[in-house]
Structure 1
Amino acid sequence: MTLPEQQTRSAQDSAHSALRLEEVTRRYGRGGGTVHALRGVSVTLRTGSFTSVMGPSGSGKSTFLRCAAGLDQPTSGEVHLGDTRISGMREKRLTLLRRERVGFVFQTFNLVPSLTAKENILLPFRLAGRRPDRGWVRDVVERTGLTDRLGHRPAELSGGQQQRVAVARALATRPDVIFADEPTGALDLTSGQEVLALLREVVSVAGQTLVMVTHDPNAASYADHVLFLADGAIVDTMSGPTTARVTERMSRLGS
């Protein structure tokens, strides 16, 4: 299965890829209880693209994200972040790589309650023991609309504002790829749309590469492309998605 204008095995296209999976499988358990979470997934996502990953419950969406982001190791196959093979990498080196080259946005925000918004945004630098690019961080804060909220702790912020802090934290280190796992799942409709518009902006304006797992056809419509998973395999792709088209395709996957 190919992703239009994205998936290719040529060296030329690989040079422009932010993320590449080659025949990735992931199995859990043994014998009769083996679960095949991913079955030979191959896909290349180009730098500066916004890809949504969709599928029914149990289709392999979360496993796809975990293997692609280096949070889980595939049973077989290869995962490349840019020109770096991360599958098979030792955990200590992988932890450092994720800290420097990968950003995460989760449904539950994952902010530290005792830290202010500013301190949460700068936390990756504190953990890495390196200085932030103050000019870039200031631009990220302005882009995410948090200038007047930097001194507030998470409990003093709305859900949408907390997710903006999470997006700013993910952007602050200028990662190669941001992985978003159901980023609007805990938000009301208005806040969710604001966060999706922000994610769309950081791809279109800042050239960020974004991979988003979602169950929401409206959220998927903000992406450039959609990958549809079922039973651990990519069964379809869509470019220029709309809410109606994604809804229709998902209804056929669930039938």
Structure 2
Amino acid sequence: MSQAAIHPTTPQAPAPAEAAARATGLSRVYGEGETRVVALDSVCVDFGRGRFTAIMGPSGSGKSTLMHCMAGLDTISGGSARIGDTELSRLNDRQLTRLRRDKIGFIFQAFNLLPTLTALENITLPMDIAGRKPDQQWLDLVVQTVGLAGRLRHRPSQLSGGQQQRVAVARALASRPEIIFADEPTGNLDSRSGSEVLGFLRDSVRELGQTVVMVTHDPMAASYADRVIFLADGRITDELPTPTAEDVLDRMRHFDAKGRTS
């Protein structure tokens, strides 16, 4: 991968895409009475297949809750959340576990690698647990895309933070999930390592056809996406296609301390 691949460029406007995931009137309420908190308030949004979407908003706006509900990590209080044609609220715990294992990839701020396993063993671990063999051609392509070909036998303690997060990205990609959810994936990285990881995520969309949904607070990180959606008080308040860091920062300035747009 060329050095230019790790720097953000302004992408072309994406063509309409089939939804890899969709929220319709999605609500999430915690508590009752005086302790009742509406984290999501009738959210409607599509996440296009083969697109990179960033979710942004003030602290407490509902962005992580939206991602967790869409990924089946949190229950919904009303409305609909779908991965492809599958309605999450109709699944029992075992079916949800199977869906998360087979159709969803996760990348978190913490790398969540097992220290006793090599990079390759960490990458294939979810498939090993599921009793499935990886598609070797696809696995080789993923490893090449994230630049880990020379590090597969290394354990996490022998890798830098950026390399460990590359392993986490490869692990999320290795099973060819329908969608990847990334929660502040560069939060523990320095700027250069963060740029590399974001470049790999963007390349997984453009070159491998992956679908990525990323929660971030960083305008520069959001600029790698095809579009940015903004939340405030549990509602989508704005959307920005083909974002630049300057455009995202300008939109974020419109949010006051309560997370409302001016």
Does the TM-score normalized on the shorter chain lie above 0.5? yes
Could you list the per-position Cα deviations for residues 189-230 of structure 1 after superposition, in whole angstroms to 9, with x for gaps in the alignment? Answer: 100011111111111111110000000000001101101000
Alignment of 1:70-149 (within 5 A): 70-149=72-151
Q: Is the 8 A contact 1:73 1:88 kept in 2?
A: no
Counterpart CA distance in 2 for 1:93 and 1:108 is 26
The equivalent residue for 1:188 is 190
The equivalent residue for 1:35 is 37
Counterpart CA distance in 2 for 1:152 and 1:88 is 42
TM-score, L = length of structure 1: 0.93
Alignment of 1:49-88 (within 5 A): 49-88=51-90
TM-score, L = length of structure 2: 0.91
The equivalent residue for 1:152 is 154
1:191 counterpart SS class: helix
Q: CA offset at residue 87 of structure 1? A: 2.2
The equivalent residue for 1:10 is none
Counterpart CA distance in 1 for 2:205 and 2:212 is 7
Alignment of 1:152-231 (within 5 A): 152-231=154-233
Q: CA offset at residue 5 of structure 1? A: 8.0
Could you list the per-position Cα deviations for residues 139-174 of structure 1 after superposition, in whole angstroms to 9, with x for gaps in the alignment? Answer: 111111111111111111001000000000000000
Q: CA offset at residue 251 of structure 1? A: 1.2
Aligned residue identity for 2:79: G
Counterpart CA distance in 1 for 2:239 and 2:142 is 31
Moved over 2 A (4+): 4-7
Counterpart CA distance in 2 for 1:206 and 1:87 is 30
1:139 counterpart SS class: helix
Counterpart CA distance in 2 for 1:83 and 1:95 is 17
Q: Unmatched 5+ residue regions in structure 2?
A: 1-12, 258-262
Q: Is the 8 A contact 2:142 2:173 kept in 1?
A: yes
Counterpart CA distance in 1 for 2:47 and 2:146 is 25
Q: CA offset at residue 46 of structure 1? A: 1.3
Counterpart CA distance in 2 for 1:67 and 1:88 is 13
Could you list the per-position Cα deviations for residues 8-60 of structure 1 after superposition, in whole angstroms to 9, with x for gaps in the alignment? Answer: xxxxx7xx210000000001111110011000000111110110000000000
Q: Is the 8 A contact 2:14 2:226 kept in 1?
A: no
Counterpart CA distance in 2 for 1:58 and 1:89 is 28
Number of residue pairs the alignment of both structures matches: 245
Q: Unmatched 5+ residue regions in structure 1?
A: 8-12
Counterpart CA distance in 2 for 1:160 and 1:143 is 14
Q: Is the 8 A contact 1:6 1:46 kept in 2?
A: no
Aligned residue identity for 2:23: L
Counterpart CA distance in 1 for 2:90 and 2:114 is 31
Q: Is the 8 A contact 1:103 1:179 kept in 2?
A: yes
- Identical positions, percent: 55
Q: CA offset at residue 6 of structure 1? A: 8.8
